Amino acid sequence: MFQNNPVLIKLKKKLCAKTVRVEGTVKSNKKGFGFLDIDKKNSYFIKPIHMKKVMHGDKVIAKIHKFDNKESVEPEKLITPFLHKFVGKVIYKKNKLFVLPDYFCIKKPIMCILKKKLSFKLQNEDWVMSKLLKHPLRDNNVFCAEIIDFVSKKNNTFSPWLVTLSKYNLNKKPPKEKNVIKLLKNEELNRKDLTKLNFFTIDSMNTKDIDDAFFIKKINNIFYVTVAIADPTAYISPNSKLDISAMNRGYTNYLPGFNVPMLPRYISENICSLKPNVKRPVLACSFTVLKNGDFVDNKINFYLAWIKSKAKLIYENVSNWLENTGSWKPKNENIKKQIKIFYEFCNVRFLWRKRNALIFKNTLEYRFQLNDKYEVLGINIESRRIAHRIVEEAMLSANICAANYLNKKLGFGIYNVHNGFDKNNSKLAALLLSSNGFNFNEKDFLNLNSFCQIHRIFDFISDKYVYKRFKKLQSFVEISNVPSPHFALGLNFYATWTSPIRKYSDMINHRLIKSVIRKIDVDMPNNKILSKIIENKRKIRMSEKDIQNWLYVIFLKKVEGKKIFLAEIIDVFKSGLRVKIIKNGAYAFIPTILIHNMKNEVFCNYDNGSVYIKNKLKYKISDLIKIKIFKVKIKNRNIIAKIY
């Protein structure tokens, strides 16, 4: 009767026209309400009653409500759920099974069903892998998930590794290879025999996957260097099962006290590893460097070879010997002579980079000391010593040669690219330096030579605050299949090929270099492969970070409220400070109330990385401060500190 009433139709259209919908991502708050983030600047309030239909991280379409000039949104349609497959802890409530997802932002457990039969009964706080089945916005129901796999018992000291690797869908075990691996057809042919040369390796004591060896001689102040790299592509053909497995893994995953290799250990630690006194196939690069550090362009040569390393040296021993400490010394006189020449070469190339490119700033590295049960005994500080610098300069030189070689011969490859600054951050960087007495045009930050000149200023500026803020504005390193500058290194091109048994991208560059040597046509690596490499790299970095955070909270729980540490202010947020403890490398957060006892007198300025108390500058990024561990939250893997 009223279906076609024109008045009602007009009214309905009028009401619909007033309904405004927005799309965004849900951000939850521990007090029950939430926000819908539309972009970096705009967000809408979500009432607690509406938050029951969504969870943190969901991407949704929501309807805007207005009441008394205040706006809030009601989520209506699910676009992408935050959870799909997830790791969580088992929780039993009144004999009902729930799983609490392992995300600090999700506080409520999800009701679960168990279809897969297990040989034992799940207990509270066991770790499992689950799959989200029902979502209130999508299925007109409550949140519900299904347990699809068991991960770890609650009291397993290896849980940090098992949970984290499961969370990022990373392999927990090395790939298996049952068949005998042999050299591929033609890989034994046309290789130079360099087995009589005194190649040697420098690695850590426990390194088994040795992938680089060196030989050097010096005549009339000219350095003649050969870098030989293990050649897994001599055994693994493109698109084979082993090759696809390596591509899917992307990298060897080095975690505290544990690693998961990209290739079967039989390959990476045996037939390809450049062990001493064993004949091995390699891809070699010979180059000539003048006393001023310049490469002789027409003296760079890539070729296939056989080598037999004459010694496996250890970083610590070589560094001690060159620094005239300890009792160790090289047994082989030829290698002893080479180490000294390599040290000269290292200094020559370092000075060249300091003049013509950019150099690395010395940073501390932290290593967890674990027992057989994977319990943390301590945390050691390691610094880059002479032997590390020698290997570093050799690898950098070889990679620079490869980058230019691939650019000249093919015009493509797997390149590490760094663009310096994006246009917006170049403006901010120019303003930062101008406020500290250095006038640069924002376009200078987009030019490689100018970028290097600007960076060298910091060799003479003692103010770490300016340098830290400058660094935070820089872009991240990316991967590209076409040559582009690497601003952070100060180089026109940079491509790695020196770790092919650990990095699939280096395996690709090996094959490309070989295609030039053998004069075989080859295709450019496609975007699918690039995306796979980028995603694997991201997941591995996240897994390493997560496991470290987990181990830190376990280790520092023992000193909660007891010990005083020296820490550096790394970042400033509206809600407080992020600091790094110098002694062990752990990161902690200091909320405003623990900076100063009157919270309303504290102002944290994110834009300039400074903290003001009663309108006076008190702290800033790069400052060293004394802190005490206030609370360690093991469940959230958070360390809360207070200024001492």
pLDDT score, position 160: 95
d(CA 337, CA 326): 19
- The residues annotated as belonging to the active site are 203, 209, 211-212, 315, 502
Comparing CA positions, the residue from 170, 265, 246 lying closest to residue 540 is: 170
pLDDT in the model for residue 419: 92
- Beta strands (DSSP E) in 157-300 are 192-193, 201-203, 212-219, 222-230, 253-255, 258-260, 279-289
Average pLDDT per 10 consecutive residues for the chain, totaling 644 residues: 58 58 92 89 90 94 87 93 95 92 91 81 93 93 92 93 96 84 88 96 94 96 97 95 95 94 94 96 97 93 97 96 92 94 97 92 88 93 90 97 97 96 87 83 86 84 84 92 95 97 97 96 95 96 96 94 94 95 96 92 92 95 95 92 94
| pTM confidence score | 0.90
Q: For residue 592, what are its two tokens?
A: 């405003």
How is residue 32 written in tokens? Answer: 């029950």
Measure the N-to-C terminal CA separation of the chain; round to a whole number of Å.
Answer: 77
* Cα pseudo-dihedral 527, 529, 531, 534, rounded to 10: -130
Q: What are phi and psi of 129, to 5 degrees?
A: -100, 130
> In angstroms, rounded to a whole number, what is the distance separating the alpha carbons of residues 305 and 284?
7
Contact 620, 569 (CB under 8 A): yes
Give the residue among 312, 326, 321 at the shortest CA–CA distance from 340.
Answer: 321
| pLDDT of 1 | 47
By the 10 Å C-beta count (0-12 exposed, 13-18 middle, 19+ buried), 158 is classed as middle
Distance CA 215, CA 282 (A): 13
Token digits for 635?
């469940």
Distance from C-alpha of 67 to C-alpha of 61, rounded to nearest angstrom: 20
How high is the pLDDT of residue 9?
56
Contacts of 8 (CB under 8 A, 6+ apart): 2
Q: ∠ at Cα 248 (533, 500), nearest 5°?
A: 65
Q: CB under 8 Å, gap of 24 or more: what pairs does 193-198 form?
A: 193/305, 193/306, 194/226, 194/228, 194/284, 194/305, 194/306, 194/307, 195/279, 195/306, 195/307, 195/308, 197/226, 197/307, 198/310, 198/332, 198/334, 198/335, 198/338
Cβ(511)–Cβ(239) below 8 Å: no
Show the domains of the chain with their CATH numbers. 6-80 (2.40.50.140), 85-155 (2.40.50.640), 196-401+505-512+537-547 (no CATH), 423-475 (no CATH), 560-643 (2.40.50.140)
